[in-house]
Structure 1
Amino acid sequence: MTLDTRNPDKYFGAAVRLRRTQLGITLEQLADTCGVSAAALSRFERGLLSPSLRNALHIARGLDCDLSELVERATVKIIRSGENLRFFDEETGIERLALARPSSSIEVLRYKVPAKTRSKLFAAHQRGTREIFYMLTGSLEIHTELDDISLNEGDSAIIQVDQEHWFENKKNTVANFIIAISAG
């Protein structure tokens, strides 16, 4: 299915239909979930009717997605080298680079942790949030209230972070890793 990017109503409707068919739900099931009539949903999907902001938000909620996923036209988003947000902690020397944020619930970061350095304590994230670590170079110890995890170059770990946590590079070399944060 291709999305018509020239007409906003048709684009929204096609995106709704695509998402609904991916989820395997009928118009009636979506109508029950989002509180918008099946007849109106059908007209939205065919691009015959413009949704109000209220209805568009209800439809997105019913499809378990962000409204931006139904209205954004860009199918590809490129962040060029040097355009990333960079955060540098002068106290620890830890550098964090924001690589991508494909949705409000997912963020991808790259960290550079100097030798013999410990991060500050990170507060607990919302329930169900996970951090997926992938070690590019070096070694890292990750500490939570329940676990202590050691990772080396090439290792990965998926960690529940709905608790306080921190990481530490105990080695004499720099540690570089990528982390994807998936909100619960």
Structure 2
Amino acid sequence: MSIRLKLLRKKLGVTLEVLAEKSGMTKSYLSKVERGLNTPSIAAALKLAKALNVNVEELFAEEHADQARYSLVRRSGRQALVGDGAGPGYAVLTSQVGQRSLLPFIIQPPREFSDRTFKEHQGEEFLFVHEGQVEVDFMTERVLLEQGDALHFNAQTPHRLRSVGEQQAQLLVVVQGGDE
């Protein structure tokens, strides 16, 4: 399970800190689980699956497990990974995360660049502004996107987002990346 937990956490863009907060476990314990130094109990595995919004089987699944024909996540069934769903944060829009190469999210970015660090990861990223306006900071250039605008870029380019204007921005973000 150790390799699987780290894979799922990284694919979802969840830090150890966030996973610790959402699962009620310590960061050091989760790090040991990821490195194979600790094996979680069934209760701990259930908490981890809930915190990552995946089926517990995904934590133990083989890489070549059969993939369902499709993934359906109803609006009412969405679970926020970061945030409470009402303000800044994001929620994943698919199931069987470990078996998918495209990961769609709904993101409501914060109004300020809350983190000084820029995100960068393998693959590509596609943003579509559903509501509001968003500023994308690529370190050397900032791009302002309006409702209806789309942006596609190499995700290894350092980037971060923030909502600008009166209305909270809401984006559809699709990340494609190789297994890490």
TM-score when scaled to structure 2?
A: 0.52
Match of 2:120 in 1: 124
Report the Cα distance in structure 1 between the residues aligned to 2:161 and 2:71, rounded to whole angstroms: 30
Report the Cα distance in structure 2 between the residues aligned to 1:96 and 1:80, rounded to whole angstroms: 15
CA drift at 1:76: 2.8
Which amino acid counterpart does residue 166 of structure 1 have in structure 2? R
Report the Cα distance in structure 2 between the residues aligned to 1:158 and 1:172, rounded to whole angstroms: 25
Which amino acid counterpart does residue 138 of structure 1 have in structure 2? G
Match of 1:104 in 2: 100
| Percent identity of paired positions between Structure 1 and Structure 2 | 17
Report the Cα distance in structure 2 between the residues aligned to 1:162 and 1:89, rounded to whole angstroms: 25
1:40-96 deviation per Cα after TM superposition (whole angstroms, max 9, x unaligned): xxxxxxxxxxxxxxxxxxxxxxxxxx623xx33x32332233322313348xx5120
Task: Answer whether contact 1:133 1:178 (CA < 8 A) is retained.
Answer: yes
Task: Answer whether contact 1:133 1:158 (CA < 8 A) is retained.
Answer: yes
Secondary structure at the residue paired with 1:100?
Answer: coil
Higher strand share: 1
Match of 2:148 in 1: 154
**Residues 119 and 179 (structure 1 numbering): CA distance in 2 closer, same or farther, change over 3 Å?**
farther
Structure 1 or 2, whichever has the larger Rg, is: 1
CA drift at 1:160: 1.4
Aligned residues: 111
Which amino acid counterpart does residue 134 of structure 1 have in structure 2? F
Where does the alignment leave 5 or more consecutive residues of structure 2 unmatched? 1-62
Write out aligned runs for 1:29-178 (5 A).
Answer: 67-68=64-65, 71-72=66-67, 74-89=68-83, 93-100=87-94, 103-113=99-109, 116-120=111-115, 121-126=117-122, 129-178=123-172
**Residues 142 and 77 (structure 1 numbering): CA distance in 2 closer, same or farther, change over 3 Å?**
same
Task: Answer whether contact 1:144 1:161 (CA < 8 A) is retained.
Answer: no
1:144-180 deviation per Cα after TM superposition (whole angstroms, max 9, x unaligned): 2343221100000002121331112231221111000
**Residues 99 and 159 (structure 1 numbering): CA distance in 2 closer, same or farther, change over 3 Å?**
same
Q: Which structure would you say has the larger RCO, counting Cα contacts within 8 Å and 6 or more residues apart? A: 2
CA drift at 1:119: 4.5
Where does the alignment leave 5 or more consecutive residues of structure 1 unmatched? 1-65
Which amino acid counterpart does residue 113 of structure 2 have in structure 1? R
Secondary structure at the residue paired with 1:82?
Answer: helix
Task: Answer whether contact 1:97 1:109 (CA < 8 A) is retained.
Answer: yes
